[in-house]
């Protein structure tokens, strides 16, 4: 006898409708740049908020293993409040008012203004600090998911959950700082006038990326995250689960995780930009909008975010259909569905009629004020909160089924 899940498809469709309404309402209240209430999208400030909030939720669920498997609404509310509390404590308390003031100037708008120099006013200062926090959050999300997919609880599998959580937190944080320092920090130091050449090296990727912007790394890294999410949910852990954790194969599983996520992430990154080149011609350094390489890198990150949202949406509101065919058939069908949903997200957002009307989209493609990544990440947050913090309630019901 085992536990099985029976999915209620009509309820799933109804819940999906409620999700759409909640999504649009929250976007209009917090972020919509033209007709919104708070208008937090500036753009980097709003993007940093959703990116770091997502990293806090992943920290609780993937690093500290604090989920809601028993579908208790009260526990879901507590975990949601804990995520928000962690976000406010670290974002505004630690970054803006401690580390930014006493250690790393560019993490605090107030510290940047106090330091003076060209462009040291509130809007630029907050945008530069927000850019750095966005990159930190991206590195944290990537490393946490790679660790969870490749290493699981190694090497603390036999320890109690709090010990596993704190040990993994410090390990993930340490590696994330190295990833950030190499892939993102040089761009942040180049944002200031004059360039902070003694604090960070020149962006070493400029030759191959045609831009000094770290949007290049944001693009392939978010696509690598999308690959890991697809493996974990649409493919039910395959192919990584073919190498079991432990038994001396932990290193092999980690290597497989890195090779597949980064390799496929780069490959899809390159293919999507090849498609953009076909339609928009070759990008060039100093180009604007669709001619600018950095916006194409950002477009890939947006598509990756839509793909992540598509995976969670299909799993949560449509029961990860199909589930009754042979495994490879199930995976293939889900892959096609996720691809179609990703395209649906993209066409909805960039539609000249739907995008501006429903999500207050800034007209045009490749615009510096484009909200796609911010809206996509907010969508992912709502889906993960429902799926992991609230256990998919009330969609998933556990029932006893015979073998």
Please check whether residue 116 lies inside any domain of the structure: yes
Question: Across residues 53-76, what is the average pLDDT?
Answer: 90
Please check whether residue 100 lies inside any domain of the structure: yes
Please check whether residue 67 lies inside any domain of the structure: yes
Lowest mean pLDDT among 113-122, 228-237, 277-286, 386-395: 113-122
Give the domain range for residue 305: 2-398
pLDDT of 401 > 70? The answer is no
Lowest mean pLDDT among 67-81, 106-120, 298-312: 67-81
pLDDT of 370 > 60? The answer is yes
Binned at pLDDT 50, 70 and 90, residue 153 comes out as: confident
Model confidence, pTM: 0.94
Please check whether residue 38 lies inside any domain of the structure: yes
Question: For the chain, what is the domain count?
Answer: 1
Binned at pLDDT 50, 70 and 90, residue 219 comes out as: very high
pLDDT for position 34: 86
Question: Across residues 24-43, what is the average pLDDT?
Answer: 93
Please check whether residue 328 lies inside any domain of the structure: yes
Please check whether residue 403 lies inside any domain of the structure: no
pLDDT of 366 > 80? The answer is no
pLDDT of 100 > 50? The answer is yes
Long-range contacts of 260-267 (CB under 8 A, 24+ apart): 260/227, 260/231, 261/146, 261/149, 261/224, 261/225, 261/227, 261/228, 262/220, 262/224, 264/223, 264/224, 264/227, 265/220, 265/221, 265/223, 265/224, 265/225, 265/226, 265/227, 265/304, 266/220, 266/223, 266/224
Please check whether residue 97 lies inside any domain of the structure: yes
Give CA–CA dist 88/356, Å, rounded: 30
Question: Across residues 323-331, what is the average pLDDT?
Answer: 95
């Amino acid at each position: 006898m085992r536990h099985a899940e029976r999915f209620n498809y009509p309820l799933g469709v109804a819940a999906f409708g409620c999700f759409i309404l909640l999504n649009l309402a929250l976007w209009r209240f917090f972020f919509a740049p033209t007709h919104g209430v708070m208008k937090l999208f500036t753009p980097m400030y709003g993007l940093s908020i959703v990116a770091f909030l997502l990293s806090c939720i992943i920290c609780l669920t993937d690093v500290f293993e604090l989920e809601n498997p028993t579908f208790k609404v009260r526990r879901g509310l507590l975990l949601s409040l804990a995520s928000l509390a962690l976000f406010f404590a670290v974002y505004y308390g630690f970054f803006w008012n401690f580390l930014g003031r006493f250690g790393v100037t560019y993490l605090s708008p107030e510290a940047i203004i106090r330091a003076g120099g060209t462009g040291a006013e509130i809007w630029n200062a907050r945008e530069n600090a927000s850019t750095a926090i966005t990159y930190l959050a991206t590195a944290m999300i990537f490393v946490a998911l790679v660790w969870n997919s490749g290493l699981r609880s190694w090497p603390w599998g036999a320890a109690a959950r709090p010990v596993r959580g704190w040990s993994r937190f410090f390990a993930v944080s340490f590696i994330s700082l190295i990833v950030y320092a190499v892939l993102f920090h040089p761009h942040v130091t180049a944002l200031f006038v004059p360039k902070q050449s003694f604090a960070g090296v020149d962006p070493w990727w400029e030759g191959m990326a045609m831009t000094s912007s770290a949007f290049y790394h944001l693009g392939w890294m978010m696509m690598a995250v999308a690959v890991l999410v697809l493996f974990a949910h649409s493919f039910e852990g395959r192919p990584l689960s073919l190498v079991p954790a432990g038994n001396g194969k932990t290193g092999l599983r980690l290597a497989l995780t890195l090779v597949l996520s980064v390799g496929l992430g780069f490959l899809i990154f390159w293919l999507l930009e090849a498609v953009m080149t076909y339609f928009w011609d070759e990008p060039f350094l100093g180009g604007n909008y669709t001619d600018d390489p950095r916006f194409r890198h950002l477009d890939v990150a947006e598509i990756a975010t839509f793909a992540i949202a598509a995976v969670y949406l299909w799993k949560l509101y449509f029961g990860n259909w199909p589930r009754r065919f042979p495994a490879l058939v199930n995976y293939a069908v889900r892959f096609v569905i996720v691809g179609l949903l990703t395209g649906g997200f993209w066409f909805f957002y960039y539609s000249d009629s739907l995008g501006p009307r429903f999500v207050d989209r800034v007209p045009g493609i490749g615009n510096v004020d484009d909200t796609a990544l911010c809206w996509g990440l907010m969508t992912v947050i709502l889906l993960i909160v429902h799926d992991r913090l609230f256990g998919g309630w009330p969609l998933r019901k556990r029932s006893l089924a015979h073998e």
